[in-house]
A = this chain, B = another copy of it.
Amino acid sequence: MPTKCFNCPLRRKSIFSPMTDDEVAFMSRFKTGELTVDPGTQLLMDGSNSPQLYTALSGMGVRYKTLLDGRRQVVSFVFPGDLIGMQAGIMGEMKHSVEATTAMTLCVFSRSDVWNLFKTHPSRAFDMTWLAAVEENFLGDALATIGQRTAIERISWAMVKMFRRAEALEMTDGQFMPLPYRQQDLADALGLSLVHTNKTLGKLRERQLASWADRKLHLMDIDALARIAQIEHEEPEMRPLM
């Protein structure tokens, strides 16, 4: 039985900007269903013009691009609350693929309703654009990371970024958070080889800064990691939820 938007568990998290009753009611109508998928499921394919967009309710995934010869770039990790498939919703075609890493449940929206959303609910349209801007900003940061930072800086950066996201979503438990990916996924996200990623993770473990095993990430010293990665301290910003 699908969750009704008005008691959406995600919306209560303090990271998400509040919605008016009218907005919630509209989203309830906008939502066409709920989807549950197994780990490994391909949600969206590069080049597809999927008629659906999704908001991740629970579970985690990866977005990635593939070069002709098979090299893979992980573009970002999908966390609960993320909107998936906006490119298809706006531009008509996906430019990357999305795969579920764990089991996921997703709110399903219909692409053809997006235009209606823009016409009748400008505040929700604004929020959707906000999400696009947040994503653009993130990709810019990721670009700076891959383009300029060393391996240990990159990995520290990724851990701090992911941990902060997890904190905002109340997914952390003390110094721990779930991190159900493979080292290969992180390597593909950071433009490093699997072997070098593994060895660099080993260094962080030795130095008692972070350790990642059994799909759990343990950050022992997030400030030290942030210093290594040269991440400035920033308050978590509120963001909309679609």
Instruction: Please measure, in the bound complex, the distance between the C-alpha atom of A132 and the C-alpha atom of B137, giving whole angstroms.
Output: 10
A93 to B, closest residue via Cβ: B237
* Complex interface residues of chain A between 142 and 170 (CB less than 8 A to chain B): 142-144, 146-149
Contact B90 A141 (CB under 8 A): no
* Complex interface residues of chain A between 175 and 198 (CB less than 8 A to chain B): 188-191
Is A213 positioned at the interface, with any CB of B under 8 Å from its CB?
no
Partner of A67, one of B67, B69, B95, B230: B230
* Complex interface residues of chain A between 202 and 242 (CB less than 8 A to chain B): 230, 232, 237
Partner of A96, one of B132, B140, B146, B147: B140
Partner of A133, one of B90, B143, B146, B188: B90
Instruction: Please measure, in the bound complex, the distance between the C-alpha atom of A91 and the C-alpha atom of B190, giving whole angstroms.
Output: 26
* A142: B residues at CB distance < 8 A: 143
* A residues at B contact (CB < 8 Å): 65, 67-69, 71-73, 75, 86-87, 90-91, 95-96, 115, 118-119, 122-123, 125-126, 128-130, 132-137, 139-144, 146-149, 188-191, 230, 232, 237
Instruction: Please measure, in the bound complex, the distance between the C-alpha atom of A137 and the C-alpha atom of B76, giving whole angstroms.
Output: 12
Closest beta carbon of chain B to A151's beta carbon, Å:
13
Question: With A126-B115, A143-B73 as given contacts, are A133 and B67 in contact (CB-CB < 8 Å)?
Answer: no
Instruction: Please measure, in the bound complex, the distance between the C-alpha atom of A139 and the C-alpha atom of B125, giving whole angstroms.
Output: 22
* A128: B residues at CB distance < 8 A: 129
* A132: B residues at CB distance < 8 A: 129, 132-133, 136
Contact A143 B139 (CB under 8 A): yes
* A75: B residues at CB distance < 8 A: 140, 143-144
Contact A130 B65 (CB under 8 A): no
* A73: B residues at CB distance < 8 A: 140, 143-144, 147-148
Instruction: Please measure, in the bound complex, the distance between the C-alpha atom of A69 and the C-alpha atom of B123, giving whole angstroms.
Output: 39
Contact A148 B67 (CB under 8 A): yes
Closest beta carbon of chain B to A241's beta carbon, Å:
15
* A90: B residues at CB distance < 8 A: 126, 129-130, 133
Contact B133 A86 (CB under 8 A): yes
Other CB < 8 Å A-B pairs besides A73-B144, A86-B133, 14 of them? A67-B144, A67-B149, A69-B230, A87-B133, A95-B140, A96-B140, A115-B122, A118-B122, A118-B126, A125-B126, A132-B132, A136-B136, A146-B191, A147-B191
